[in-house]
């Protein structure tokens, strides 16, 4: 059975979920946080070392300013209320993405949260915020060129946001869409892909367990036979 080191997740469908219920897109985002909490707890039980959630992409800046402000406030409020519980449960928070250009308040919140949980050992939760894979790849080449470093696969991977993190064993995307949306394009090169029709707030721990069991039985060749 396949060992699981890293699961990546695209949480698609929050806005549509809220609108389907006659409420705002933000209502869906609020409900989606509960799903994240449930999956983190389940992953700790199953001793899965790393989860990566696609939280806010470089393309999400095109959304209405009110929605962007709500998302950032949601993250700030969550960490303000839950940081002690995260530490207690051994959850290490890490950020993938360009946080330098984020608003001062959310940037401060993220840096504080990563610092307070840096020694936690039960699980690492990566939040991809202001993240775009094309930007990551181009930026990595610029760093190698600036440092006059030879372009090899190893040197390249050592300059990615995911330095030192194993590539995802599999990706889950909810919401019925079958695309990667500029997420971990390099890192997902040999990952199994699971596309789920359910919108993110409807995704359950039971759904998560089923995908984990499916993955454990998959024969992975990595180009071999």
Known catalytic residues are: 12, 60
7 within 8 A of 194, measured Cβ to Cβ: no
Angle between helices 205-216 and 25-45 (to 10 degrees): 50
Give the rounded distance of the alpha carbon of 97 from its chain centre.
Answer: 10
Residue 20 · residue 96 · CB < 8 Å: no
- Residue 107's contacts (CB-CB under 8 Å, 6 or more residues apart) are 99, 100
CA distance 95 to 137: 16
CA distance 138 to 147: 14
């Amino acid at each position: 059975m396949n060992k699981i080191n890293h699961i990546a997740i695209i949480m698609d469908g929050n806005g549509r979920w809220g609108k389907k219920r006659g409420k705002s897109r933000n209502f869906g985002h609020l409900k989606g946080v509960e799903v994240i909490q449930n999956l983190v707890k389940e992953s700790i039980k199953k001793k899965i070392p790393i989860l990566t959630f696609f939280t806010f992409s470089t393309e999400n800046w095109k959304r209405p300013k009110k929605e962007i402000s709500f998302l950032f406030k949601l993250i700030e409020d969550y960490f303000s209320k839950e940081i002690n519980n995260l530490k207690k449960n051994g959850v290490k928070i890490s950020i993938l993405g360009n946080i330098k250009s984020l608003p001062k308040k959310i940037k401060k919140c993220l840096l504080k949260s990563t610092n307070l949980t840096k020694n936690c050992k039960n699980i690492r939760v990566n939040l991809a915020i202001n993240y775009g894979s094309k930007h990551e790849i181009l930026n990595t080449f610029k760093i190698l060129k600036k440092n006059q470093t030879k372009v090899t696969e190893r040197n390249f991977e050592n300059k990615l946001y995911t330095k030192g993190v194993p590539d995802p064993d599999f990706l889950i995307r909810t919401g019925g869409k079958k695309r990667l949306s500029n997420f971990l394009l390099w890192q997902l090169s040999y990952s199994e892909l699971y596309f789920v029709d359910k919108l993110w707030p409807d995704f359950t721990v039971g759904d998560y367990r089923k995908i984990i069991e499916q993955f454990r039985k998959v024969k992975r060749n990595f180009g071999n036979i």
